[in-house]
Each structure stands twice: as structure tokens, then as C-alpha cells.
Amino acid sequence: MNLRAIGAIYAFELARTRRTLVQSIVAPVLSTSLYFVVFGAAIGTRITEIEGVSYGAFIVPGLVMLTLLTQSVTNASFGIYFPRFTGTIYEILSAPVSAFEIVVGYVGAAATKSIILGLIILATAALFVPLRIAHPAWMLAFLVLTAVTFSLFGFVLGLWADGFEQLQFVPLLIITPLTFLGGTFYSVSVLPPLWQTVTLFNPVVYLVSGFRWSFYEIADVRVGVSLAMTGLFLLACLAAVWWVFKTGYRLKT
């Protein structure tokens, strides 16, 4: 394994984050803080508790997951799209660097940025609501697994996209609505039976449910099911990346 090549790609991507610190870190943290203020002040006064947890604390895992999903997809997709857009991707492909090393460098950097952002938001949330993390190890496991999975998905998106509009389309019009409808601000159990069944077709439900369980030991679906669904999506993303490099789709044409 060419660790120097992986380190070079990884360091370059993290350096880009330092150059755009306000856009990459400050803006997502401020926007998420507004959710705490608005939903905590407006809805929290009407809904005091959900399953024994204060409403403000209940929405924290969902808001962290919302930021984690969108930022993982955005970071990874822009990271690989710019080399394609500028043509520097051919320099990487012609270098003695394997496809695996390229993916590890780009996806690892995107996942790292998302994890750091998620931890910052958790620390920020502690300023607004009392947090309790029942299973810290599982919380970190869900955080890392989700960040890596959706960074892989973003990597595939960056290879598929023909323009900046398509890069924005998936996070804004697909990922964000699915997260809002995936139990971020409510428990699926409060929905009518029909809508509970429909909601289970939303893959984000399993991510939010598993992540929330690591905090308060309450979940809309079993933790094992959440892990299994996340693992399946991870395998699907890995298969898509393997196929892209095997066929040269959007890379050699």
C-alpha cells in the first residue's frame, strides 16, 4: 500500500478545509445551532418530553445526523469532482496509485471532516440542552460508520455529476428531506400506523434511530436492524466505487 500517496491526498483535502474554515465548519455549526434555538424555543414549550427525554435533548442526535449526512456527501462529492472538472484527475490516475488508495485518501478526508463537525455540534448542543450518552462507544461507531458510508456515496456522486447543479441536487433535494422525514424532530411511534409503515422505507430512519439509541437507549427500530441497514448501504457504495474504477466510468471518457 502506498501510504505516502494516501497521505498526500488526505492532507490536501484537509488543507482545503482549513482554507475555507468559515464555509466548512462555522456555517454548519451556526445553522444547526439555529435549529436548537428555534425548535427548542417554539416546539419545546409545547412538547416537554418524548419517551422520558426532554424535547431539546431528543432532537440532538437527529440534528447531528442531518449535518453528518449532508456534509459527508458534500465534502466527498466536491473533493473528487474538482479534479475531474480541472483535469487533474488524469495526473492521479496516471500516477503509481491504486484505485483503493485514491478512494481511501478522498473518502478518509471527507469522513474525517464530517466526524470533526459532528463532534463540534455535539459540544455546541451541550450548551443548550443536558446531554446524556448511554453508550459512547456505540455513538462513535455509528458516527464513523455513517460518515464513511455517506462519504463513499458522495464520492460516487462526484464521479457521476456533470455539473455543480447535480452536486447540489442530491444533498439539498434528497438527503435533507429524507432526514427531516426520518425521525429527526419526532418519534416514528407518534405517526398513524400507515405512515409508520411508509416511514420504514426511508433509510435515514435506521441511521437516526440507531444513533439516538446510543444516547438515550430509545429507538424506533431495533439497533441490530439499524446496523444491518447501514452495513448494506456501505456495501452498495463500495460495489459502486469498485465498478466505477473497473469500467473507467466518468474517469477515462
pLDDT recorded at residue 17: 76
In a domain, 239, yes or no: yes
Q: Is residue 253 part of a domain?
A: no
Domain presence at residue 229:
yes
C-alpha separations of 207 from 24, 57, 229 in Å: 23, 17, 8
C-alpha cell at 231: 452495513
Distances (CA, A) of 217 to 82, 102, 131, 137, 180: 41, 38, 13, 13, 21
Counting the structural domains of the chain, the total is 1
Q: How many residues does the chain have?
A: 253
Q: Is 220 helix (H, G, I), strand (E, B) or coil?
A: coil
Q: pLDDT tens across 52-74, in order?
A: 888 888 888 988 998 899 889 98
Q: Give Cβ neighbours of residue 16 (< 8 Å, ≥ 6 apart).
A: 79
C-alpha–C-alpha distance, residues 159 and 89, integer Å: 11
Is 58 inside a domain boundary?
yes
What is the reported pTM? 0.88
The verdict on residue 45 lying in a domain is yes
Residue 88 identity (one-letter amino acid): T
Identify the bridge partners of residue 53 per DSSP, sorted by sequence position.
Answer: 50
Residue 54 pairs with which residues in a beta bridge?
A: 49
Tell me, yes or no, whether 102 lies in a domain.
yes
Give the pLDDT confidence of 124-169 residue by residue, as tens digits. 888 878 888 999 999 999 999 999 999 999 998 888 888 777 778 8
Assess if residue 76 is contained within a domain: yes
Which range of residues forms the domain containing residue 175?
3-247
φ/ψ of 145, rounded to 5, equals -60, -45
Q: Is 252 inside a domain boundary?
A: no
